[in-house]
Amino acid sequence: MIRYTIKRLLLLIPIIIGAAFIVSLIMEMTPGDPITLMLGDLATEQRVAELTAKFGLDKPFLLRFLNFIIGLFTRFDFGTSWRTSRPVLETLLTRAPATLTVAFMSIGFATIVGVSIGVLSAVKQYSPLDNYARVTAMMLGAVPTFWLGMMLIVLFSLKLGWLPTSGVGDIKHFILPMLMLGLPYGARQLRGSRTHMLEAIRKDHVRTARAKGAPERRVIWIHALGNALLPIINSTAAYISGLLGGAVVCETLFGLNGIGSYIVNAVKQKDIPCVVGGVVFLAIMVAILMLIVDLLHAYVDPRVKARYARR
């Protein structure tokens, strides 16, 4: 497992560099001068030249990107905001709790609800529960996320008055964002869990366990679900990046001071260090979560253990 973990950690390096390069190149190619946007009507030639030299915009793109990567891996420096002169990492750390809270609540909700109903739907195939679950999953999977969020606000905030519409405070402020992100992914998790569980139920070892007189509950939750866990874990890993990416729309809609809204505001102002630093921070978060899922997969799958075990 140690060799497996080290290999996965080394794979984080090209992921971080690739994400930083793509975002930096896109921001470099977008129209507009960040110095002119920052100064506005007060943009004199002398002031523009001073800020251009201060921010290193007079240097080639590849040299600026190389300096950013060196600072990132040697000093863990994400850069400094051009508008506020505040370290990007300091701002990201203050906004990360809101993003992580929404992400983990959504992942937990989607996984628990989706897998549980998916297993029950597979066990009771073609029953009314199975039919209702499949239809609901298809509807939630097809609904746009931002439209679902607005409908949740109309229902639970404006009509019923149960939950707040925006802001960050107690747990009530995160329920609607959790539902906005968790319901569509929970529907996909339901459909995937149902499919994998139906395949596992028809395996020979499950029929053998039933023939030996094992209790049905043990057959389903131990023998069948144990084999269906591997593809379920893999599908959960695929949803993590989508959930963190959807946090951008979610935080903008619900007024959460998270990393997503921070990146959106930086893009509008073309504050390149904030955009690149925020995306790299999200990439690191996704890579760490994917590493945890890979380790969980390796723990569940004995083939991975055998492959990396010392002879």
How much is the pLDDT for 92?
87
Q: Is residue 122 part of a domain?
A: yes
How much is the pLDDT for 29?
83
**Higher-confidence position of 278 and 141:** 278
Q: Is residue 306 part of a domain?
A: no
Burial class (CB in 10 A: 0-12, 13-18, 19+), 6: exposed
191 pLDDT band (50/70/90 cuts)?
confident
Q: Is residue 263 part of a domain?
A: yes
**235-264: average pLDDT:** 75
How much is the pLDDT for 118?
85
Distances from the Cα of 154 to the Cαs of 151, 165, 173, in angstroms? 5, 9, 15
Q: Is residue 283 part of a domain?
A: no
pLDDT score of 52 more than 80: no
Between CA 115 and CA 123 the distance in angstroms is 12
Q: Which domain holds residue 121?
A: 103-269
SS3 87: strand
Q: Give per-residue pLDDT as tens, 111-137.
A: 888 888 888 888 888 888 888 888 888
How much is the pLDDT for 72?
86
Count up the domains in the chain and report the number.
Answer: 1
Q: Is residue 163 part of a domain?
A: yes
| Averaged pLDDT of the chain | 80
How much is the pLDDT for 78?
85
pLDDT score of 75 more than 60: yes
Percent with pLDDT over 90 in the chain? 0
Q: Is residue 227 part of a domain?
A: yes
Q: Is residue 19 part of a domain?
A: no
CATH assignment of the domain containing 190:
1.10.3720.10
